[in-house]
Amino acid sequence: MRAAGRLLHQVEVGQGDAFIGVGAVLEFVDVHPFVGRVRTLRIAGADFHQEQKGFELDTFQTIFLVDDRRSPAVLQALERGRFYAVQKSKNSRLSLDQFKISDNSSGKAAIMGEEIDVAGTPILAGRISTLDRIRQDVAISIIRGGQLKWTFEGQTPLDFHLVDQDGWHGKSFYRLDVQSTTGGHLLSNPIFVIRNNG
């Protein structure tokens, strides 16, 4: 994934990694992210005591997008919301290779955790793949402002490009919810958008 021309690495942090001690199962309620200064972010985790119901220790993971793989970079990604939550299927893990929103009038772009002022039409672009490069059927849901707006299906690796022509204005956010037919699940953190024209 790229941010402002820089290549960001994906670093897996599972429940067994000691320096991250927060977790929540992959069920979330969208809250309007512009209330106060607090924004809703997604972290994967499990209250793991033993293998049961097919879950292994690394089933739930938080994937951080970082410039380097040292702890300060991971903590900075945590602070900025540059990470996503994933639930592995039996032998595979979905990967969010790209998710960005750009403004068709200015060419500016933002990734997860960032905010963008959009004067024109928001353009969403993304790519979903798997780490093992095995093709999987996936269903992608795009949520805007806590409401499901678009869904589509395809096979990994899957590139998508969507132009939001709804004409809304104000403050909102977009995020992804991806499910594979093999049981994998991926939730992105939001990209925050301020749109003054609609």
Write the single-letter amino acid at 147.
Answer: Q
Q: Which residues of the chain have pLDDT under 70?
A: 1-58, 198
What sign does the dihedral 32-193-3-136 (CA atoms) show?
positive
Beta partners for 155?
Answer: 137
pTM, two decimal places: 0.77
Looking at residue 8, its pLDDT comes to 58
Looking at residue 192, its pLDDT comes to 93
Looking at residue 156, its pLDDT comes to 94
